[in-house]
Amino acid sequence: MRSDAYKRTRLACYTAYFTMASIFCLPPLLFAHFHSEYGVSYTLLGTLVLTNFITQLGVDLLFSFLSRRCNIGLIIKIMPLITFLGLTAYALSPVLFPESVYVGFLVGTVLFSVSAGLSEVLLSPLIAALPSENPQRDMSLLHSLYAFGVLFVVAVSSLFFALFGADNWQILTAFFALLPVLASVLFFLSPMPDMNRQEGSEGQGNAFGRVAGIALCVGCIFLGSCAENVMASWASSYIENALNLDKIFGDMLGMAAFAVLLGFMRIWYAKRGKSIFPILLGGMIGAAACYLTAGLVENTWVALCACALTGLFAAMLWPGSLIMMEENLPGVGVAAYALMAAGGDLGASVAPQLMGFVVDSVSVSNFALQLSASTGLTVEQIGMKAGMLVTAIFPILGAVLLIFTFRYFKRLHQSRGVSLKK
């Protein structure tokens, strides 16, 4: 089938990825309200993020084993409807579980996380399977639309909170629940390419080398996801509570700027990017610097800029790891994409949860009390700054792993007589 026959399919993928931003971005925007209104601790709020990505991780791993037995086309068509059900359950939590609203949050989180897991596993290989003159551009553009989805969610949410207040968050959540239905309609009206591809023949003589290469790429996407998702999950609460900025003002200058820079970098790579390795290495180093700056500096505006700039440096860490795998291990199938999605989702599970645990633990420590007395910071502010410093370890380790991975692929290609694309 000609490439132009899949235009609607490509549009459906972009729409689904755009609307998926509400799954990851909307709950963190509501965390501060849930903490004050329903008394949900920061550890339990972090557990919602953990539940989100652990559920996705389970879907990823399941697909890595069962991808050849599933009707992938049908699953892609219905997965946005699962997002609709999850966000609807989230919005109805106070009605369905008036005595324990947190239970409703967990139920809704599990539901829309199933859809998110399916999206991460299937949308990237679907885009890769579509005929295209520039598949790297399509992959980067796909992931950039998630960033602009985040910007859309933040902008709409900020406007809604300014006009109607955070107490009406259920109406806002119901609005975002309706958007994925459009993606589902587009998928039902679009042709689907064959995605049940076997592993490519290239390099089959060195199966161990390919498996080890995939494992290294999974490690890279894990650490890159950590670097991206700590800030994506906690920037709103950090800016409001640690930097003492107004929520709407902080969300627009922090979360929205994070999303704009995330999307800008992915669009830039889609148009002009040629070499993924220096982009990945620079991203890891830059993200580490941003976390350390946000946790250490006292100047509010410098810390705010560090939160926003994390989006620029972390932008290519997830899609760039996929591109690195595709360039160095051509012909991988859906199972490899599922393992990569599992690595990314595991990182997005572990790191934000660790942030919440550090915030709560440090906030009640004697160390925080003593430091609060000498610095004028509240124990909560100290806890949040400590969380930023601890989670800086992920991009630091990511930079080290990337250097090792680059050297590994260089040796692997040299053994085949192929030059490594830097």
- DSSP for 79-146 reads HHHHHHHHHHHHHTHHHH-TT-HHHHHHHHHHHHHHHHHHHHHHHHHHHHHS--S-HHHHHHHHHHHH
Question: CA distances (Å), 39 to each of 42, 262, 408, in order?
Answer: 9, 32, 49
Q: For the segment 13-64, what is each residue's pLDDT rounded down to a tens digit?
A: 999 989 888 888 888 888 878 888 888 887 788 788 778 877 887 887 787 7
Question: CA distances (Å), 305 to each of 49, 137, 362, in order?
Answer: 24, 28, 24
* pLDDT value of position 184: 93
Kindly give the residue spans of alpha helices, DSSP state H, lying in 238-255.
247-250
- What's the distance, CA 217 to chain centroid? 16
pLDDT at 228 over 80: yes
- What's the distance, CA 320 to chain centroid? 13
Mean pLDDT value across residues 237-266:
83
Query: Rounded CA gap, 278 and 275, in Å?
Result: 7
236 versus 213: which is more confidently predicted? 213
pLDDT at 126 over 80: yes
Q: For the segment 168-187, what is each residue's pLDDT rounded down to a tens digit?
A: 999 999 999 999 999 999 99
Query: Rounded CA gap, 56 and 318, in Å?
Result: 15
Mean pLDDT of the residues in the chain: 86
* pLDDT value of position 202: 45
Is residue 389 a contact partner of residue 364, using CB atoms and an 8 Å limit?
A: no
Percent of the chain clearing pLDDT 90 (strictly above): 40
Query: Rounded CA gap, 36 and 287, in Å?
Result: 30
Query: Rounded CA gap, 197 and 211, in Å?
Result: 17
Tokens of 402: 């990337």
pLDDT at 108 over 60: yes
Which residues, at least 6 apart from 169, have a Cβ–Cβ distance to it below 8 Å? 30, 33
- What's the distance, CA 89 to chain centroid? 22
* pLDDT value of position 216: 95
Q: Which of helix, strand or coil describes residue 299? A: coil
pLDDT at 267 over 80: yes
221 versus 329: which is more confidently predicted? 221
Query: Rounded CA gap, 166 and 30, in Å?
Result: 8
Q: At what angle do helices 101-129 and 135-164 cross, to 10 degrees?
A: 150
Taking only Cα atoms into account, the Rg of the chain, rounded to an integer number of angstroms, comes to 21
At residue 60's C-alpha, the angle toward residues 42 and 43, to 5°, is: 5
Ranges 109-113, 195-199, 313-317: which has the least confidence = 195-199
Query: Rounded CA gap, 101 and 106, in Å?
Result: 9
133 versus 153: which is more confidently predicted? 153
Is residue 29 a contact partner of residue 89, using CB atoms and an 8 Å limit?
A: no
At residue 279's C-alpha, the angle toward residues 277 and 285, to 5°, is: 105
For the chain, give every domain's residue range. Answer: 7-193+206-416
363's enclosing H/E stretch is helix 334-363
Q: For the segment 315-371, what is each residue's pLDDT rounded down to a tens digit?
A: 999 989 998 998 888 777 777 888 898 888 888 878 988 998 899 899 989 998 999
pTM confidence score: 0.75
Longest dimension (CA), the chain: 69
Query: Rounded CA gap, 28 and 352, in Å?
Result: 11
- pLDDT grade for 205, boundaries at 50, 70 and 90: very low
Query: Rounded CA gap, 335 and 62, in Å?
Result: 9
- pLDDT grade for 204, boundaries at 50, 70 and 90: very low
* Domain 7-193+206-416 in CATH 2.60.40.10: no
